[in-house]
């Protein structure tokens, strides 16, 4: 769902029981409130999270929602799927149909997944221009070589898409475990990068996005809402 901006008069014209000819007088009489304050004019700009009220009738009162979910394996990052359980199926919330995913994880991967109804927020998180880091803990089938570290730092060319990955940081924890820091999110990127070295990824968990770390109190499949400050801090990487 997007938080698109729009003119107040155009929004009111789509509401049941409000005639276009009545909009200007209603606003002039102070009967239309935006976020509790009398509207300033027909061209006033609102968004999906502005509270709009006509007299005692609330026309719009949606609030932005930001959710952290600990994704378990075997669940798809999708709002619906005919064959598999989705992350939306894990949410026991009345508003779950209004939510979308801000940065997917593949079927086998686990860890920090974000959901929201704020399209502008999720677009900023996913934009390469935002340069927000995504941190992953990876366990591999074979020891990690120094050549692999250099290749991650240099970027890899993917001929199928005709792209070169941005430099990524590979921090070796032990022989077969490493942390990977990306500033982008290509399709199955980490698995494909290690695949160049014929080193199979056994497990992959995203543990942080920007300054936001996966809450250790969240068991797999559990979730909680972010605080307002967390939703802002994540973009101040």
Residue 111, classified by CB atoms within 10 Å of its CB into exposed (0-12), middle (13-18) or buried (19+), is buried
Task: CATH 3.30.2350.10 in the chain: give the residue spans.
Answer: 66-233
Q: Give which of 126, 61, 72 is closest to 98, Cα–Cα.
A: 61
Q: Exactly one of 106, 215, 233, 237 is catalytic; which is it?
A: 106
For residues 200 and 105, the answer to whether their CB atoms sit within 8 Å is no
Task: CATH 3.10.290.10 in the chain: give the residue spans.
Answer: 6-60
Taking 80 as the threshold, does the pLDDT of residue 112 lie above it? yes
Number of neighbouring beta carbons within 10 Å of residue 20: 11
Active-site residue flag, 106: yes
CATH of 6-60, one of 3.60.110.10, 3.40.50.720, 2.40.50.140, 3.10.290.10: 3.10.290.10
Percent of the chain's residues with pLDDT above 90: 75
Average pLDDT, stretch 135-149? 96
Q: Give the pLDDT confidence score for residue 197 in this predicted structure.
A: 96
Structure confidence by residue, pLDDT tens digits, 201-219? 999 999 999 999 999 999 9
Fold of the 66-233 domain: Pseudouridine synthase (3.30.2350)
- Record the pTM: 0.83
Confidence of residue 120 (pLDDT cuts 50, 70, 90): confident
């Amino acid at each position: 769902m997007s938080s698109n901006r729009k003119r107040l008069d155009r929004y009111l014209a789509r509401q049941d029981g409000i005639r276009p000819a009545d909009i200007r007088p209603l606003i002039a009489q102070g009967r239309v409130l935006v976020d509790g304050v009398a509207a300033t004019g027909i061209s006033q700009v609102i968004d999906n999270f502005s509270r709009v009220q006509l007299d005692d009738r609330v026309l719009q009162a949606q609030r932005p929602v930001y959710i952290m979910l600990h994704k378990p394996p075997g669940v798809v990052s999708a709002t619906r799927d005919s064959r598999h359980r989705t992350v939306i199926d894990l949410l026991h919330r009345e508003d779950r149909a209004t939510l979308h995913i801000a940065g997917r994880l593949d079927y086998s991967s686990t860890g920090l997944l974000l959901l929201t109804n704020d399209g502008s927020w999720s677009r900023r998180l996913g934009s390469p221009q935002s340069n927000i880091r995504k941190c992953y803990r990876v366990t591999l089938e074979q020891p990690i070589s120094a050549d692999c570290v250099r290749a991650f730092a240099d970027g890899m060319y993917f001929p199928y898409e005709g792209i070169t990955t941005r430099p990524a940081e590979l921090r070796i924890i032990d022989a077969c475990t490493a942390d990977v820091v990306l500033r982008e999110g290509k399709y199955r990127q980490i698995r494909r990068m290690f695949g160049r070295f014929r080193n199979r990824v056994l497990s992959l968990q995203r543990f942080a996005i920007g300054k936001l770390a996966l809450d250790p109190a969240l068991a797999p499949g559990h979730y909680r809402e972010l605080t307002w400050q967390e939703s802002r801090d994540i973009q101040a990487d």
